Structure formats: structure tokens, C-alpha cells
Amino acid sequence: MSVKRFFRVLLGLALLAVFVYCMYCNYQVAPKLLEPEGWLPTVEVPAPVEETPEPVIPDFIPVESESSEPEPSAEPTPEVTPEPAVDPDSPEGRAAAMGLPAPPEIDIDSWEFILANDYNSIGEYAPQGPEMLEGQPLDSRIIEPMKAMVADTRDQGLSVYLSSGYRSYSDQRYLYNRKVAQYPPDGKDSNGRWIVLPPGTSEHQTGLACDITDVYHEFKDRSLEETAMYQYMSQHCQEFGFIVRYPADKEEVTGVMYEPWHFRYVGVEAATYIMENGICLEEFVSLYRDIYSAENPAPEE
């Protein structure tokens, strides 16, 4: 072999070695480029972990009932039946017109409610009995209630004096004529109120009323209301069936001047209604029947 050919072979081997060396280095740097498609190793990728959200705590936590039973469902609202209209001519209707509660169910024609005033004459009426109590004649049917009221008042350490009970028609005529002589022409005071009523129109003739004063109070006048006896009795008289017959604020209705000494029996039920509602006997009786007339109209409120 010639020298020239020898060097050509040697040069070719050297170039081949360089080529092989370059390929080797390239494989080390990027082996994935040298491997055929599909030779890549399988790598297991872990599944993503779902994060559990933190619980939301409400501002208000309802407290469960201790009972495990479920709450009953709401019942349907029953239909309300309208109340019938009140008859305006009934006691309830008349009371409502005056702004008063329904009055008690009573027999207004019973003896307790006999009405004597200047337009309701009872003629020569005389009460049952009469029977004496502490020197005063009274209708025998009110003796026990009167005894009880007087005893109760005295139990409070108060002095009670029964000064005038039943008066007959003739007795009332005598007193009336004497008062007319003092206060002509009709025996009325300067305000036009009766001081002594004419015979047949006085409460005293019923035997159901009595003038009651303090033993130590000399006069029958307005000052009696300042006594402890009157103040106690006027607050408790209804418990025994009595009323203050001629109140200060009812002179226009009764036609009689204020008499804090005059107590009248009407029974516990009626007396309680009258005293609690601040009315007089005329107003009470007028709830049950018409007591006025064209000549004697009801007084204006």
C-alpha cells in the first residue's frame, strides 16, 4: 500500500472517531432526541387532592327544642261570627250610649228601685213595716243591711248617728210647708235645688233611705264630707247595698242639692254598679225604662 493511501485511511478513521464521539456527547445531553418515538418511560402523575372547604358558621345558631316532637302545624284561623248589633233601646244599648258597661240583669220594678223625685210622685205610698232601728223607722227589708253597714263603720272607730229615716206623707207635707215659709216661694235654695221635697216625692217616704251623720258633727251641710265617717262610708256603702243618693256632680239630674248624709238602699248589685260608675239613681233607672217626659226631659250632659 502506498503511503498516500495509508494516510487517507488513517484520516478517515480519525474523522469516524470524531463523529462517533460527537454522537455520544449529544446522546448524553438530550437522550430523548435520540430515542425512537414510543420509547419514553411511563410516569404516574398523582391525582389532584380536593381541598375540603372550611365549614361556614352562621352568626345565629338556632337552639333546638328539648322536645324531639315536631312542632304542630298552624291551625287555620276560624271564621269570626260578627256579634249582633245591640238594641239601642235595651239596657245594654242605653248604657253604651252613655259610655257605661252593661248594667246588671235586675227587675227594675222591684221594691228596691222605687223612684221618688219631683216628677215621679209615689203619692201616699208607705213602706213595709216600718221597723225601728236606733230610734229611726225604716222599711223592715233594709234593717239588716243597715245594721251591718253601721256596725262595719263603727268597727273602724268612727261615730255613726242615724238622724232621719222614714217620713210619712203627712210628715213630709209638714216639713215641706215649713221650708217654703223659710225659702219662699217653693222651698228651693238659691241655685234652684230642693232643700225639702214636696210630699209624695221624697226619698224618705220610701223608707229605703236614711240621713246618717257623725255624732260629733253638728250640722247637716257640705262640710260633712270632710269627716272620716263619711269618707269611709261613701267608699264602702255599696258593699251593703247602699248608695250616696244625691252626689255633688248630679244636682242637674236629681234636682236636689248635694247631700253627703243621705244614703239609699238599692241592693248590692245595683249599688256596686252605681257607685263604681259614678251615676245617680235616676240615671240607673233610666237604663231600664224611660223615666222622663216632655214636661220633665232628661238633663243635658
Question: Is 259 considered catalytic here?
Answer: yes
Q: How far apart are CA 129 and CA 124, in angstroms?
A: 15
Q: How far apart are CA 229 and CA 157, in angstroms?
A: 9
| Active-site option among 259, 283, 300, 301 | 259
Q: How far apart are CA 251 and CA 297, in angstroms?
A: 15
Q: Are 237 and 148 in contact (CB under 8 A)?
A: no
Packing angle of the helix pair 143-155, 228-236 (nearest 10 deg): 130
User: What is the C-alpha R_g of the chain?
Assistant: 56
* SS3 label, residue 209: strand
Give the type of residue at 183. Y
Q: How far apart are CA 183 and CA 121, in angstroms?
A: 22
Look at residues 141, 115, 85, 84 and name the one whose alpha carbon lies nearest to residue 288.
Answer: 115
The catalytic residue positions are 259
